[in-house]
Structures are given as structure tokens and as C-alpha cells.
A and B are shown apart, each in its own frame.
Chain A
Amino acid sequence: MVTRKRFKAAGALAASALLLAVSACSQGSSTKQPEPGGQSSGPANIKIAYQQWGPGTTMKTFLAGVKSEYEAANPGSTVEVLPIVASENDYYTKLQLMMRSPNTAPDVVYEDTFLINSDITAGYLRPLDDYIAKWDQWGQFEETAKGAAKALDGKTYGVPDGTDTRALWYNKQIFAKAGLPTDWQPKTWDDVLTAARTIKAKVPGVTPFNIYSGKPMGEASAMQGFEMLLYGTKDSLYNSDQQKWVVGSQGFKDSLNFIKTVFTEGIGPSPKQALDPNMGSKVGTELLPEGKLGIALDGSWIYGNWQKTGAKPWPQWTEVMGQTAMPTQDGGGKGKVSLSGGWTWAIPAKSKNPDAAWNLIKTLQTQKNAAKYATDGAQIAVRKDVAADEGYKSSSKSTQFFTDLVSVTVYRPAYAEYPKVSNEIITAMEAVMTGQSSVDDAAKNYDEAVEGIVGKDKTTAGQ
């Protein structure tokens, strides 16, 4: 008797707990939002979230400056800078969890463009069109940059603060020792491999070539590593004419084969080293400055580490490091490849102070602040007035080179499914580089996974 009663009560309690949990987790897209501009943006407490990981403090310093500027201009308002101390994937997870509820949603968040479409589809972000329409500075942004955070619904969800391109960085001193030309211009993948093999033979104690690969480095592996290869073949990830994802392509296998060659021939870092989640900052702050790495397939921003404000000041880099474009597989097409991404400032749909948040974004993106971040953060400017800024143009010896790559650059497929596809790419890379599966098996697993993600009818064969 007693026990039955108890179980009944227990059931009722459990059910209510379940209801709580369900309502907590379901996305109430029907939550009523205040109309933009509908309320006066009086004093408010604004929370701005960004990722803090590794030795770099550029963003931290930059935001501290913006905070005092904003608070001085808006008496009574406070800006709470919320560093999320987490590695890449954990940062997104935490941010997404926070954005699910008005209680925890920050007012301004820093979103990578590769993820933004996925988060837009999830209903996490607020369209900014009404704000942008009244903003005189938007005209200063490059057209491509304006598209960076534009969703399929045609609305804009983020204000980009810079973009980037990717290419080969190489150490001229090591090249000289290896008897390689110091104005190196590889024409094909084989040229890159040959140079790396030469370094391996002639300069012991140096890692010849680094390409990011495997799960710990996340999107850097997929984009800087794999896609820089794939987009140099005849294939790509997504066929935009047919609006379908490409599976079973020769280019995909060739790219995996390149990864396999690098790691099995020992012309890259050891797989174990490459699978360190800190490999990114290690390349920038240790391997390159200490002259332990010959060639790095890396981003335009990496010299940010070596500036006076960077994590590892290294004034000599302008003499030691050369840059050259990543060639296509066999020199065909435009002959060189680059990919572009970048980050944007966005306002979560559940922010309680969207108007004040927008004001903060405007402060982040004054010409002066944009130029400062582009310079200190080693970004490629997305504002015309910043791009024309003398201080910015002369900020680095490599600025011109990487800005020119914009003419050949490619953007990742801007679809909500991209992050999932990207996860499958890095899984395939890791399987190949550790010798756990053959190139064919890894490619086959990738194809099956992509068919599972987007549906078989949304895939198409390669060239």
C-alpha cells in the first residue's frame, strides 16, 4: 500500500522534472522579442563573450579598451567581458548552451563564420538588418564581407571584424641550408613534397612541413589542412550548380593521400605531435620562431604572434619568413588556392538588451577600433577605410601578399550542415594519418556519413 503510494508520488515528481527539463531544452523560437529600436537603449548591463585560449591576449586587450570607451560614452551602462576559457569545440558547446536561454545568453557573441549558419538555423541569433539599415558605416564594408554572415533567408546576422587567407609560410634560413631557393614558388603539390623531402634529408632536427590534421585541431584541420588541398583538385565539397554535396570524388581521395604521404614519410610532425590540441599555438609561438619548422601551411594572421603585442615577439620574422601561395594539385586552374573565413560579432536571439548590444557592436566597429583590431589581431581588413589606412597597410610585411590572395580565395559552403561535414573530414584525416584505415576506407566512411547528414538525394558524384 505504502509503497504504491510512494511510487505514485515519485512518478508525479519525475514527470514534473521531465517537463521542466523539456521546456528548458526545447527552443522556444516563439519567445517574444522586443522590436529593434522599439525601446530606448537606456543604461544597460551588456555581456560580451569571446574565446580565451592559449597565450594570446590581443582580444582581451582590445575588448578592455572598447569596454572603457563604451562605458565612458554611455554613463550608467556597464560592459561585462566574459572570457570563455575553453578550447575550440568546448567554446562552441558552451556558447550554444548559454544562448539557449535568456537567463544565460550573452548580449554580444563572437562567432566563427563557419559555424554561424548552423547557429542561425538553430535560431540562436538575431537578424541585424533593421539596425544595419540605419547604420552609416555599413557602406564601408566590402561586398564579400557583407555576405559572410548572411543566411539563406537573405538576412544578415553578424558584423565581420576581419577576414583571412591561407598560404605557405617558409623559413628562408632553413631553405638556404637545404639548398632550396629562398624565393620559393612551388607550382604543384609535388613541388611542396619535394621541398619537404629535401629539408628532411639536408637539415636534420627540423620538422620539414606542417599541415594541420586530425580531430584535436578541429576546423583548422578541415580548412587550413584538408580544404586547401581539396580546392586545388578538380573537386570540391559542394556542387553549387546542383546544390548538392560531393561524395566519392577522386579529389577527396587525392587530398587524403597527400595527408597520408606527409605523415607516413615523416616529412611532417609526428602524428602524436600533430594530434596535440595546442598544435596551432605551438606552430606560431614555438616551432616557427625557434626555427624548428621549414614550411607551414597556415593562416595570414600567424604573424600576429610575433608582433610587439603578440604572444611571442619576434621582430626578425620579416627577414626569416617567406610567404608563397599554396599551389593546386598539378598547377591547373588558377594555379593557386586560398580559403577565407573570419569571425563576426553577433547578437543572440535571447539577448535582453539587443539595442545596447548593437551600440556596443558599433563601438567595436568604429573605423579607429576596426583598424586597431585588424592591425593587432593580424586580420585582413574588411572595411574599405581600414584597408586604405596607412597604419594598417604598413603594419606587416605580409599584409599585401595575403590581401592579394583574396582574388583567388574560396569560401566554405555556407550551409548549416557544414560543421557536421567538417567533423567527418577531420575524422577521415585522423584515421588516415594514424594508419588506422586506408585512404579508400576513410573516403568511403566519409561518403556514408555525409549521405547520413544531408540525405542521399542531396549528394552528387565528383568530377
Chain B
Amino acid sequence: MTTTVAPAPVASKPGRNGKPRTANLFKMLPLTPAIGLMLVFLAGPILYCIYAAFTNMALTGTGAANVTFVGLDNFRKAFGSGAFSNAIWLTLVFTLVSAIIGQNTLGLGLALLMRKSTKVVRNFVGTAVIGAWVLPEVVAAYLLSAFFNEEGTLNVMLHAVGLPGQDWLYAAPIIAVSLANIWRGTAFSMLVYSAALSEVPKEIEESAEMDGAGGWRRLVFVTLPMISRAIMTNLMLITLQTLSVFGLIYAMTRGGPGTKSQTLPLYMYEQAFSFSQIGYGTAIALVMLAIGAVFSLIYLRGLNSEAA
């Protein structure tokens, strides 16, 4: 397990170091298969969703026979509904706790610590963290359900140190699924940061050390700024992915009990599929996309200000 084969340095932006070459239609031709597939199987359905969100479309009942345009009714219904604001709130908590704080910080921490650790430890931890990530979603969900169960491993450990246990999936479901998502997703951030850190020239850090900068100061003022682009990109990717996490939560709690772990994707699924309200469900999906867009804009702005 080495860090050697990471592909060549980040600095070489083609078209910048060579002569900029402008495209012509012929040269762009290889894009066609990808664009074709995405237009038919993604853009088409998405446009259709945008249309559906403004209708009363349903899988059964009147909304299935006569689809009628209802204007902003679905959105009005959503923003007036307690279940929807509950789902928004839980989605934000889930994203903040499991992605922005959990996966991101833990991934960065692991990557930093690994630079200072012995090879055996590094290999062991790397394998464990990546192993959790390689597992199929359903299996991960089963494992973690067992882990958080009343008689599961977590409680056995808590009892061993004299702490009271509880049925985590029932008592604190949003915390349990957030921890589950950290467990499953940290590998991604760890890999990103390991690669980014491997490109930070050792000399810079060493010279900072010579100047007497302590560990934390060095980290905050020297190392982190050097990998800020990686941080922004990583944050954006894991945020977008966490916003749309469905399978893990569905298999662990189905959004319950009650609606205590019902994030937006689960609420949308319930309304669109369990309750057959396609129009309303897709309206919720659009809100989800809007939230994703807001996050992306924030990160992109961060990236741009870095570049400038």
C-alpha cells in the first residue's frame, strides 16, 4: 500500500501548458455516445419530472386518468406541511453531521495521521476503512442495523464500560444512520486527501517547522491552504452524494420510526411510490435538486476564489 502510482501532478492543465487548441465540431464528436445516453435516459426523464411537479399526476385514482396542471399547488402543499419541513431539517442534519463534519473531518484526519504512522498500522486502517466502503449498500445496512441493535455490538461495548445502552435505531435513528453513513463513506474522503497530501512538497512544511511553527499552526496555515482545492471539491462531491442517500436509510429504518429519520429522498419515495402521488413526489425531488444547487454554488464560489 503505497502512494506512488497516483497519476501525474495536478498542475498540468492541458491547453494551458500546450498551445490552447480550440475545438471544432468534428473534434467534439467522441462526446456523442455519452451525450446521447444522458439526453435520452437522464435529461428526458428530468424534464418530464419538471412537468410532473406542476401536475396532480398519480399512479392510481383521478390523477392517473386525467393529469391536470395544478400550478404551484404541490409546492404550496409541501411548504405548508410539517412532514416536509421535518424532512428538510433531517436532511440538513444528516448532510451536516455525516458528510460535512463526519466523513470530511475524519477522512482528513486519517489522511494526516497516516503520514506519520508505521506501515503496518497504515495498511490495517486503510483496509478497514476501504472495506467498509466496498461493501454493497444493502449489506452495509444489515451490518449496521445489527451493530446498532438493542443487543448489538455497540451496546455490548457500552455495557462493558458501564454505560447504559439503548435501541439506537429506535431511540436516535437520525444519529444512527448518520454514523452509518460516516462508516460507509469516509474512505472516499480519506483517499482524496491522501492523494492531495502526497503532492504537498515536504520542503514547504519542513521550512515552516524550521521557522518554529507548531503542529497545529503548520496544519492550519501551511498544509490546509495547499490542499484547499481538494477540500472544496471533496466537500462538494460528498455533499451532493449524501443529499441523495436513499438505500442505506431505507434498508436500516425505512425513514422511521414515525418520521424520525425520514430525509427528503425517503419522504419523496414514500409520497411518490408508497402513496402513488407522482406529482407531489417529483415536486419534492425538485426542491432536493435546488438544495443541491445551492450547496454546489457555495463550493464553486469557494473554488473560484481559490483559483483567483
The interface of chain A, by Cβ under 8 A from chain B, is 2, 5-6, 10, 13-14, 17-18, 20-22, 25-27, 29, 89-90, 92-93, 96-97, 115, 118-119, 121-124, 214-216, 271-272, 275, 277, 416-417, 419-420, 423, 427, 430-431, 434, 436, 445, 452
Does residue B256 face the partner (Cβ distance < 8 Å to A)? yes
Are B60 and A96 in touch, CB under 8 angstroms? yes
Are A272 and B61 in touch, CB under 8 angstroms? no
Does residue B51 face the partner (Cβ distance < 8 Å to A)? yes
Are A25 and B65 in touch, CB under 8 angstroms? no
Selected interface stretch from B3-11, B32-40, B183-191: B32-40
- Min Cβ gap A25→B in Å is 7
Are B48 and A25 in touch, CB under 8 angstroms? yes
Contacts of A26 in B (CB 8 A): 67
Does residue B59 face the partner (Cβ distance < 8 Å to A)? yes
Identify whether the interface residues of A are mostly helix, strand, loop, or mixed. Answer: helix
Bound state CA distance, A337 and B52, in angstroms? 42
Are B276 and A93 in touch, CB under 8 angstroms? yes
Bound state CA distance, A445 and B86, in angstroms? 14
Inter-chain contact count A-B, CB under 8 Å? 125
Are B61 and A21 in touch, CB under 8 angstroms? no
- A417's nearest neighbour on chain B, judged by CB, is B61
- A218's nearest neighbour on chain B, judged by CB, is B274
Bound state CA distance, A124 and B61, in angstroms? 9
Are A216 and B276 in touch, CB under 8 angstroms? no
Contacts known (A18-B48, A434-B257); A115 close to B60, Cβ less than 8 A: yes
Q: A17, A27, A89, A272: which contacts B40 (Cβ < 8 A)?
A: A17
- A452's nearest neighbour on chain B, judged by CB, is B77
Are B25 and A2 in touch, CB under 8 angstroms? yes
Does residue B47 face the partner (Cβ distance < 8 Å to A)? yes
Are B65 and A92 in touch, CB under 8 angstroms? no
Are B65 and A29 in touch, CB under 8 angstroms? yes
Contacts known (A93-B59, A93-B276, A417-B61); A10 close to B39, Cβ less than 8 A: yes
Are A22 and B39 in touch, CB under 8 angstroms? no
Are A2 and B62 in touch, CB under 8 angstroms? no
Contacts of B244 in A (CB 8 A): none
Contacts of B59 in A (CB 8 A): 92-93, 96-97, 122
Q: CB-defined interface of B239-275 with A at 8 Å, one 1/0 digit per residue?
A: 0000000000000001011111000000000100111
Are B35 and A10 in touch, CB under 8 angstroms? yes
Contacts of A20 in B (CB 8 A): 44
Contacts of B83 in A (CB 8 A): 427
Q: A17, A90, A271: which contacts B170 (Cβ < 8 A)?
A: A271
**Of residues 19 to 71 in B, which have CB atoms within 8 Å of A's CB atoms?**
23-25, 28, 35-36, 39-40, 43-45, 47-48, 51-52, 57-67
Contacts known (A10-B35, A21-B45, A22-B48); A92 close to B60, Cβ less than 8 A: yes
Are A431 and B25 in touch, CB under 8 angstroms? no
Starting from the known contacts A93-B276, A96-B59, A416-B62, 15 additional A-B residue pairs (CB-CB under 8 Å) come to A13-B36, A18-B47, A22-B51, A29-B65, A90-B273, A92-B276, A123-B64, A124-B64, A215-B256, A215-B270, A216-B256, A272-B167, A419-B61, A423-B274, A434-B258
Interchain residue pairs with CB less than 8 A apart (11): A13-B39, A18-B51, A21-B44, A93-B59, A121-B65, A122-B58, A123-B65, A124-B60, A272-B167, A275-B256, A436-B258
The interface of chain B, by Cβ under 8 A from chain A, is 23-25, 28, 35-36, 39-40, 43-45, 47-48, 51-52, 57-67, 77, 82-83, 167, 169-170, 254, 256-260, 270, 273-277
Contacts of A21 in B (CB 8 A): 44-45, 47-48
Contacts known (A21-B45, A272-B167); A445 close to B82, Cβ less than 8 A: yes
Contacts of B45 in A (CB 8 A): 17, 21
Bound state CA distance, A63 and B194, in angstroms? 59
Contacts of B63 in A (CB 8 A): 122
Contacts known (A122-B60, A419-B60); A6 close to B47, Cβ less than 8 A: no
Are A27 and B65 in touch, CB under 8 angstroms? yes
Bound state CA distance, A6 and B260, in angstroms? 47
Contacts of A452 in B (CB 8 A): 77
Among all A-B residue pairs, the 7 with the closest Cβ atoms: A17-B44, A122-B64, A436-B258, A434-B258, A21-B48, A123-B65, A118-B60
Bound state CA distance, A323 and B58, in angstroms? 40
- Min Cβ gap A398→B in Å is 33
Are A272 and B170 in touch, CB under 8 angstroms? yes
Are A27 and B64 in touch, CB under 8 angstroms? yes
Of the candidates B44, B258, B277, the one having the most CB atoms from chain A within 10 angstroms of its own CB is: B258
Of the candidates A92, A119, A272, the one having the most CB atoms from chain B within 10 angstroms of its own CB is: A272
Contacts of B57 in A (CB 8 A): 25
Contacts known (A2-B23, A121-B64); A430 close to B257, Cβ less than 8 A: yes
- Min Cβ gap B105→A in Å is 31
- Min Cβ gap A127→B in Å is 14
- Min Cβ gap B160→A in Å is 24
Contacts of A417 in B (CB 8 A): 61
Bound state CA distance, A420 and B258, in angstroms? 18
Contacts of A121 in B (CB 8 A): 60-62, 64-65
Bound state CA distance, A118 and B277, in angstroms? 13
Bound state CA distance, A434 and B63, in angstroms? 32
Of the candidates A27, A92, A122, the one having the most CB atoms from chain B within 10 angstroms of its own CB is: A122
Bound state CA distance, A34 and B113, in angstroms? 73
- Min Cβ gap B166→A in Å is 11
Bound state CA distance, A123 and B60, in angstroms? 9
- A20's nearest neighbour on chain B, judged by CB, is B44
- Min Cβ gap A456→B in Å is 14
Contacts of B35 in A (CB 8 A): 10
Contacts known (A10-B35, A17-B40, A93-B276); A436 close to B259, Cβ less than 8 A: yes
Q: A2, A216, A445: which contacts B28 (Cβ < 8 A)?
A: A2
Are A419 and B47 in touch, CB under 8 angstroms? no
Contacts of A216 in B (CB 8 A): 254, 256
Contacts of A124 in B (CB 8 A): 60, 64
Contacts of A431 in B (CB 8 A): 258-259
Contacts of B65 in A (CB 8 A): 27, 29, 121-123
Contacts known (A17-B44, A420-B61); A89 close to B274, Cβ less than 8 A: yes
Bound state CA distance, A14 and B77, in angstroms? 30
- A117's nearest neighbour on chain B, judged by CB, is B61
Contacts of B25 in A (CB 8 A): 2, 5-6
Bound state CA distance, A2 and B169, in angstroms? 55
Contacts known (A271-B170, A272-B257, A419-B276); A2 close to B60, Cβ less than 8 A: no
- Min Cβ gap B15→A in Å is 16
